[in-house]
Structure 1
Amino acid sequence: MTETPALPALWPAPLADGTVHATVTVPGSKSVTNRALVLAALAAEPGWVRRPLRSRDSQLMADALRAMGVGIEETVSSSSAGDGSGGEAWRVIPAALHGPTTVDVGNAGTVMRFLPPVATLADGDIRFDGDPRSYERPLGQVISALRTLGARIDDDGRGALPMTVLGGGALEGGTVEIDASNSSQFVSALLLSAPRFNQGVEVRHVGGNLPSMPHIRMTVEMLRAAGAQVDTPEAGGEKDVWRVTPGALLGRDMVVEPDLSNAQPFLAAALITGGTVTVPDWPRRTTQPGDALRRIFTEMGGSCELTDAGLVFTGTGKIHGIDVDLSEVGELTPGIAAVAALADSESVLRGVAHLRLHETDRLAALTKEINGLGGDVTETADGLRIRPRRMHGGVFHTYDDHRMATAGAVIGLAVEGVQIENVATTAKTLPDFPKMWTDMLAGDAEGSGVPGASAGAGA
């Protein structure tokens, strides 16, 4: 990854002094990049991952696969396909997985959950360790499921990191029940490696509401594109049951879509300032949860159009409160909460109790930090109630959570004196965010002041 200048411990969030007019090219999707890397590593032949996200989470995934023996060559490629697939690419060369080695998962949910099933296929022991917060994040369901399927795992009874997968070169597979109500990644973790299990896998979710279903649909579509046979509830099967047949995966040439969830703060800037932001290459069809921003931010006062140039989003400067179920798109909650704090009426964000187990307890963190700036946020059993208030400057803590940092920057557009603690944590999925943010604001801004900022936001 390229060197970036050191950032201050407290980053002054820029105040918008006019309407934002900018085109913002958003890097590739972390969710797609990391799934593509796993599938390519398990394939029977080499493949390409083009326009991958280069961030901490994706670098951790690539480095972990390399440690287990997979070849990943970083190149700059050209394409005559006319689909924008030229540019940076990773050539993934599958190999016999082996240990002993140690994998650093950082605080990346996809790495800590997707790779233990891969490690069961390795010849040798694979130890998993990570940031202190990773020890607190739920992993026990994945560990128990893998044991049911025949894996040997040493976790000292914690059901969490650190742990060691005692790889035997293969896994029997079969039928397993799992409670994935805390994270859809538990299901995706088992499905991604399942074609390589001797019996494949049948995963039965037996818990409460299953969050983030779009991410499971993303996993299924990418598996099928790699040649796997997957039976799903959407295909008329049993509710919350997925079956993957054993078989070889194909090496693919895959172009990674822009990360639509990471487009959120830039679209929010257009909504708040009454400007226009264009995000190139926004897909017309996608399984990414971030596509829901088109609907949610339109309900909150903006408008959007998919054009040949990408998604063109325009705000009026007036922000309306919203009552919305975010259970399928929980990762959007911090940004929506930030916008809601600047709205002209109350908002209720529902269906996101599972966010208490993400990079940090996002519901508690959002409540504390927005209230610390003078806002009025209360936690509910499964979300947040946000009553707009005139806010003031202050330190917005991030808790090493990239989406907390971008949420603070959004509020800082309309509230003078907001300082983001550890904005560098955005490198987890959005490298160079501070520069992207200031470049956006340095675009063709016009007018004087942020429309609507005094109504509830209070600079």
Structure 2
Amino acid sequence: METPLPWLAPYRDAPLDARVLVPSSKSLTNRALVLAAIAEGPSTVGRPLGSRDTTLMADALVTLGADVERTPAAWTVTPGRRTGTAPTTIDCGLAGTVMRFLPPVAALGPGPVTFDGDEGARARPMGTTISSLRALGVEIDDADRSALPFTVHGTGGVAGGILEVDASASSQFVSALLLAAPAFDHGLDLRHVGAPLPSLPHVEMTVAELRRRGVDVDDSQPDRWRVAPGAVAALDVEIEPDLSNAGVFIGAALATGGRVAVRRWPHETQQAGDAWHRIVRAFGGTSERDGDDMVFAAGNTLSGVDLDLHDVGELTPVVAAVAALADGPSHLRGVAHLRGHETDRLAALATEINRLGGHVTETDDGLRISPQPLHGAIFRTYHDHRMAHAAVVLALRVPELFVENVRTTVKTYPNFAPVWERLVA
């Protein structure tokens, strides 16, 4: 795909006052699709996110034998397994959920399945996926890369049992195994060993989705999950709005001294984006419910923050952008694992904010941000949708800021650029 010309992101010299409905959650959509594909009957996923990551997931599940009937309002998934053993390939794009969630599912079917993706995907850590499946007796050919591309040689089933993993690089390694575990012959007794598990809300989301479908999951001990073997019930669901994607609009309200109402904010959720409540308050703002809306408003000043974002690392790019516009220095901690995301997000944020005249330094596990007067330039996104979100928040207060490739936002937010222009320009 040809890279578009840099896009001049809108500047705004007045407080934002807006109401927005963000697309549905990618994390919930892809978990629902995987579980529907191994369920005991058809399931309908209502209000699915239609983005590159979810399309790749649906296409991959079809490759593995499921049927996915798609309409704009709902996707109906009829489970199934591959019947032949001819080699096939799954395109992961740059989607961590596809490259990590589906190798255990592929191991349940017959024949070789090769996983590959974008050039950037080949740099993402995959060693834990490969080593954990090997420990369960699955043959994987990765040419000693511990990265894409690799081939899973399915034999029609996985025994399961006791397994220890070090998932400190990504919680997706845990979620991937838990999602497939009910289909293992003996279920799974999974134990995380190593540094504290990042992005724990995503694992809690996985456990909650399994239980909604009747799966017996015991997570009463820290860093241990016991999943009983058995059927996954078919379940029709409606996907919540993506609260992480709401962050770019919340960041806009903070950056401009304004307010934004996010529609259909769930009353209870496992989404990491629910942490925006405490983050906004740390910056000196407020959040309050208004019916089905959640209203976020900036305070009289935009305070610097000291935040541990270990459990909600995906929010870091927008938080860093807001911090670069604050009245005082900020320290963002606990996010060393961001170096293994779509790009090295810590290095990328420091490089790009400093390109605008900022003063950002990397620490072992985060960033220190000392706000400085910023100037326009081209802000590179490194094919990372969250970097594009950081760029457009900065552009609200920095004239002549161009975003290198705003199209990368289609990963989780189709039509983001025109929606953003209508809202803030």
1:382 counterpart residue number? 365
Q: Secondary structure at the match of 1:116?
A: helix
Q: Encode CA deviations 1:296-318: one digit per residue, 9 max, x unaligned.
A: 01220221111214111122463
Alpha-carbon distance in 2 for matches of 1:184, 1:94: 26
2:120 is equivalent to residue 133 of structure 1: yes
Alpha-carbon distance in 1 for matches of 2:60, 2:168: 27
2:218 counterpart residue number? 231
2:392 counterpart residue number? 409
2:303 counterpart residue number? 320
1:24 counterpart residue number? 20
Alpha-carbon distance in 1 for matches of 2:192, 2:61: 28
2:26 is equivalent to residue 43 of structure 1: no
- Please provide the CA RMSD for this pair: 1.2
2:133 is equivalent to residue 149 of structure 1: no
TM-score (norm. length: structure 1):
0.90
Please report how far the alpha carbon of residue 8 of structure 1 lies from its aligned counterpart in structure 2 after TM superposition.
4.2
Unaligned residue ranges in structure 2 (runs of 5+): none
1:456 counterpart residue number? none
8 Å contact kept, 1:374–1:390: yes
> Any residues of structure 2 matched to 1:185-334 within 5 Å, and which?
185-232=172-219, 235=220, 237=221, 239-316=222-299, 318-334=301-317
TM-score (norm. length: structure 2):
0.97
2:424 counterpart residue number? 441
**Quick one: which amino acid aligns to residue 94 of structure 1?**
P
Q: Encode CA deviations 1:18-39: one digit per residue, 9 max, x unaligned.
A: 2211111100001000000000
Q: Secondary structure at the match of 2:114?
A: strand
Please report how far the alpha carbon of residue 142 of structure 1 lies from its aligned counterpart in structure 2 after TM superposition.
1.1
Please report how far the alpha carbon of residue 7 of structure 1 lies from its aligned counterpart in structure 2 after TM superposition.
8.6
2:110 counterpart residue number? 123
Q: Encode CA deviations 1:95-119: one digit per residue, 9 max, x unaligned.
A: 1234532100011100000000000
Alpha-carbon distance in 2 for matches of 1:146, 1:252: 28
2:74 is equivalent to residue 89 of structure 1: yes
Q: Secondary structure at the match of 2:310?
A: coil
Alpha-carbon distance in 2 for matches of 1:321, 1:410: 16
8 Å contact kept, 1:272–1:317: no
Please report how far the alpha carbon of residue 413 of structure 1 lies from its aligned counterpart in structure 2 after TM superposition.
0.2
> Any residues of structure 2 matched to 1:412-427 within 5 Å, and which?
412-427=395-410
Q: Kindly, what percent of the aligned residue pairs are identical?
A: 56
Q: Secondary structure at the match of 2:101?
A: helix
1:361 counterpart residue number? 344
8 Å contact kept, 2:42–2:79: yes
**Quick one: which amino acid aligns to residue 139 of structure 2?**
R
Please report how far the alpha carbon of residue 274 of structure 1 lies from its aligned counterpart in structure 2 after TM superposition.
2.1
| Segment drifting more, 272-281 vs 418-427 | 272-281
| Alignment match of 2:65 (pick from 65, 69, 90) | 69
Q: 1:39 to 1:244 in 2, by over 3 A?
A: same
| Alignment match of 1:11 (pick from 7, 22, 33) | 7
8 Å contact kept, 1:284–1:306: no
**Quick one: which amino acid aligns to residue 212 of structure 1?**
S
Q: Secondary structure at the match of 2:252?
A: helix
2:355 counterpart residue number? 372
Alpha-carbon distance in 2 for matches of 1:198, 1:110: 23
Unaligned residue ranges in structure 1 (runs of 5+): 1-5, 77-87, 443-459
8 Å contact kept, 2:303–2:326: yes
Please report how far the alpha carbon of residue 125 of structure 1 lies from its aligned counterpart in structure 2 after TM superposition.
1.3
Please report how far the alpha carbon of residue 9 of structure 1 lies from its aligned counterpart in structure 2 after TM superposition.
1.7
1:176 counterpart residue number? 163
Q: Secondary structure at the match of 1:415?
A: coil
Q: Secondary structure at the match of 1:329?
A: helix
8 Å contact kept, 1:106–1:134: yes
8 Å contact kept, 2:199–2:310: yes
Q: Encode CA deviations 1:328-383: one digit per residue, 9 max, x unaligned.
A: 00000000000000000000000000101100000000000000000000000100
Alpha-carbon distance in 2 for matches of 1:174, 1:160: 25
Q: Encode CA deviations 1:177-235: one digit per residue, 9 max, x unaligned.
A: 10001000010010000000001111111111110000000000000101110010xx3
8 Å contact kept, 2:60–2:90: yes
Alpha-carbon distance in 1 for matches of 2:246, 2:190: 32
Q: Secondary structure at the match of 1:331?
A: helix
| Segment drifting more, 300-309 vs 322-331 | 300-309
Alpha-carbon distance in 1 for matches of 2:209, 2:111: 28
**Quick one: which amino acid aligns to residue 74 of structure 2?**
A
**Quick one: which amino acid aligns to residue 140 of structure 2?**
I
Please report how far the alpha carbon of residue 168 of structure 1 lies from its aligned counterpart in structure 2 after TM superposition.
0.8
Please report how far the alpha carbon of residue 124 of structure 1 lies from its aligned counterpart in structure 2 after TM superposition.
1.6
2:379 counterpart residue number? 396
1:85 counterpart residue number? none
8 Å contact kept, 2:280–2:296: no
